[in-house]
A and B are shown apart, each in its own frame.
Chain A
């Protein structure tokens, strides 16, 4: 092959790959303006990895605790690695992934996802897995999560998954083509609006309340991994009124925690102690906490972490102070912006 041909074919390959790369960037969802939950997992990698507490779990975790309150009131540097309908096997791999970068003192796992033995939705898989950086952990997480019909290659080349999104592109897809704005506050998803919880339905009787083998397996794995790395595992249940948390579920978690010497806190039972008022502390009628509820829950959990677990108050560390000061400004700016958005008066 002569020199000219090498140049010709080389240039062809470069142009083709550049076009494909550009198209892929354009077509993948940006999770910036609408469904922001898909952006949370990736934002962790932009952080300085020096956290005392890492939260993992589903929406109940990223909407229930304000890391800013944990910092401001207890000096606890925390990050929420939550994502929409995060399954327990994904929580496990997110813990494993976190431990590649840092070793927190405490991992807080929201046990709501124990009821799912396998992935329920490809869309939710995507929102958790796409944001993870490539590693063996991510490969394992994908393999553990894929539903029937999903293909591993679609995760490697997301253009194969989102190839039809060209008909649904918005301005945001072009605006955030190469650089995205942050949408969470250390993984916390803020909502300031209020929708009181009224007429919360009782749960329908189930045929089987037992958590599945797979769920238990990954909880065991998470516990063992934390033990191996010297990390304290704390099990929590967020104070969401529904999906209904059955007493049979509660018994199983309590028994597990007792058997393995783990602390388990069901915030539903501590609602009074937390000071929760479901007429003002939720934005979707009891499903998720709003800012007010999240700050109350953070205050409550911060006390546990600080007093019972003896986590050090790190306020005064100049790098962290500076970092949290910037985060606080962003936090307050969003509160102001959301109040305007939802028409909430000061």
Chain B
């Protein structure tokens, strides 16, 4: 049930009506049923994967929580009679029990994820090695369909498990309520990856009908459809034409790189707008996932503003735990002692961020392209970190510290840099990625930008005009967003003005959206992750 299908719109309308018509106590159960129906529509057997994640994580979290409570009760009763060693031993033994629960649930879920998502990647690599050693026969590939949103809901559930294990969040005692947290239909497709502690208060709370809130939510949904259907699904045609044809090199790659950046943002942020807008209309708060990322002046800033929920997940559950782990702390001390404070400071940063970016890469997809994509990000981030003092000196020397033109240069540079890194996403193999990248500098065919060749990519001149106009609108909205919520700024305007704005936007989506016969209803790009 694609977000852009009529079926989904009908489904959403029904859920919204029932949500506010039924008694409030029935609201979250309704969402649970709706979420399972939504997921069922993607494939009945996929429910098994989701249900197994739900049950294992919920069960482990409840056991961990019980152990926490039992330990607390035991210590309350016996603490005074215990010496320090006995106390330590008791705590350690209980922690081991909790760790066993935690590890068991973690491994089960990572194993499921590994099998459904990475089994063929593993087999492909094994076959490559066997072939290199002259073995004619390789392993057979497995035929397992990737369950919708498995990376998103698995990581969200694991995040919850870690929070409960750390004692940061109490375990949810009700399995159905936890099942809703894992399966909540607007976000199960492509996130954002939420935290239980943040989401639970509004997810399970009763909500009365609030016209303003519903209206705000639907306005955001409409904006999401605009980005997805008018921009992303239109430009997709040209992106596919460029990267689907190996003869498109040089300037085509450059154009494709820019187009893909625009498509990816419109597609992913549009999908997230739909997700958060639906949740808002239901009175539920979700994490934001974007903060005008294309205005970033550097790669580190970009990654603080793009796919924020995923980056926060990797930061909180991989980077921080790793950098503060006893082994790394010991290593840091040793390096500091031998090579000085500067080197000591870099050790945890380099190693932890390497692990986090390798994981981010492999999370995005089962291919070496994504691994190298992740590690390229890591390399540039570390390089950027190292060069920061140099940049600062350069700007001081050239008196560009407060120059707007330099800011614009930085924004453009970051945009292109990310574009180059994302070429890994546009190609199936590392070889074709590097060939494409190199061709931008070695092939002199930039005349295609002005000689009409771009009109042979499946887009008409009118399509380019629509894309340009739509992007100007996105840009204008992004500039207005600097002062806060756009919808809140629109709210005080006269009713007639607001009507023209939103009904006008609706008509733009209706008349210029890439949907229906003649268009492929495309999944959101992040669905496949």
Interface of chain B, main secondary structure: helix
Set B462, B510, B516: member contacting A154, Cβ < 8 A = B516
Is A252's beta carbon under 8 Å from chain B? Answer: no
Q: Chain A, 1-18, contact with B by CB distance < 8 Å: what is the 0/1 string?
A: 000000010001000100
Contact check, B495 vs A160: say whether CB atoms are below 8 A apart.
no
Is B74's beta carbon under 8 Å from chain A? Answer: no
Contact check, B510 vs A163: say whether CB atoms are below 8 A apart.
yes
Interface size class of A (residues with CB under 8 A): 10 to 19
Set B462, B503, B513: member contacting A167, Cβ < 8 A = B462
Set B495, B499, B503, B517: member contacting A150, Cβ < 8 A = B517
Residues of B within 8 Å of A122, CB to CB, are 517
Q: Chain B, 499-520, contact with A by CB distance < 8 Å: what is the 0/1 string?
A: 1000100010011110111100
Is A153's beta carbon under 8 Å from chain B? Answer: yes
Contact check, A163 vs B516: say whether CB atoms are below 8 A apart.
yes
Residues of A within 8 Å of B510, CB to CB, are 159-160, 163
Contact check, B511 vs A151: say whether CB atoms are below 8 A apart.
no
Given contacts A163-B510, A163-B511, contact A151 B516 (CB under 8 A): yes
For the complex, what is the distance from the CA of A245 to the CA of B125, rounded to whole Å?
A: 56
Residues of B within 8 Å of A166, CB to CB, are 511
Q: Chain A, 147-164, contact with B by CB distance < 8 Å: what is the 0/1 string?
A: 001110110000111011
Residues of B within 8 Å of A163, CB to CB, are 510-513, 515-516
B214 to chain A, nearest CB (A): 14
Residues of A within 8 Å of B499, CB to CB, are 12
Is A23's beta carbon under 8 Å from chain B? Answer: yes
Residues of A within 8 Å of B507, CB to CB, are 19, 23
Is B446's beta carbon under 8 Å from chain A? Answer: no
For the complex, what is the distance from the CA of A163 to the CA of B508, rounded to whole Å?
A: 10
Near B by CB (< 8 A), chain A positions 1-48 give 8, 12, 16, 19, 23
Is B8's beta carbon under 8 Å from chain A? Answer: no
For the complex, what is the distance from the CA of A166 to the CA of B517, rounded to whole Å?
A: 15
Given contacts A8-B495, A12-B499, A151-B6, contact A161 B517 (CB under 8 A): yes
For the complex, what is the distance from the CA of A151 to the CA of B516, rounded to whole Å?
A: 8
Residues of A within 8 Å of B511, CB to CB, are 23, 163-164, 166
Contact check, A154 vs B517: say whether CB atoms are below 8 A apart.
yes
Near A by CB (< 8 A), chain B positions 471-529 give 495, 499, 503, 507, 510-513, 515-518
Contact check, B503 vs A161: say whether CB atoms are below 8 A apart.
no
For the complex, what is the distance from the CA of A7 to the CA of B6, rounded to whole Å?
A: 30
Contact check, A160 vs B503: say whether CB atoms are below 8 A apart.
no
For the complex, what is the distance from the CA of A154 to the CA of B513, rounded to whole Å?
A: 14
Residues of A within 8 Å of B516, CB to CB, are 151, 154, 160-161, 163
For the complex, what is the distance from the CA of A192 to the CA of B503, rounded to whole Å?
A: 49
For the complex, what is the distance from the CA of A149 to the CA of B510, rounded to whole Å?
A: 18
Residues of A within 8 Å of B513, CB to CB, are 163
Residues of B within 8 Å of A153, CB to CB, are 6
A28 to chain B, nearest CB (A): 13
For the complex, what is the distance from the CA of A160 to the CA of B512, rounded to whole Å?
A: 11
Closest to B517 in A: A122
For the complex, what is the distance from the CA of A160 to the CA of B518, rounded to whole Å?
A: 12
For the complex, what is the distance from the CA of A149 to the CA of B513, rounded to whole Å?
A: 16
A19 to chain B, nearest CB (A): 8
For the complex, what is the distance from the CA of A128 to the CA of B397, rounded to whole Å?
A: 75
A122 to chain B, nearest CB (A): 5
Closest to B521 in A: A149
Q: A12-B499, A154-B517, A164-B511 are in contact. List 8 more A-B contacts (CB 8 A).
A: A149-B517, A151-B516, A159-B510, A160-B515, A160-B516, A161-B517, A163-B512, A167-B462
The 7 closest A-B pairs by CB, nearest first: A153-B6, A163-B511, A167-B462, A122-B517, A166-B511, A163-B510, A161-B516
Q: Can you pick out 28 interface pairs between chain A and chain B where the beta carbons lie within 8 Å of each other?
A: A12-B499, A16-B503, A19-B507, A23-B507, A23-B511, A149-B517, A150-B517, A151-B6, A151-B516, A153-B6, A154-B516, A154-B517, A159-B510, A160-B510, A160-B515, A160-B516, A161-B516, A161-B517, A163-B511, A163-B512, A163-B513, A163-B515, A163-B516, A164-B511, A164-B512, A164-B518, A166-B511, A167-B462
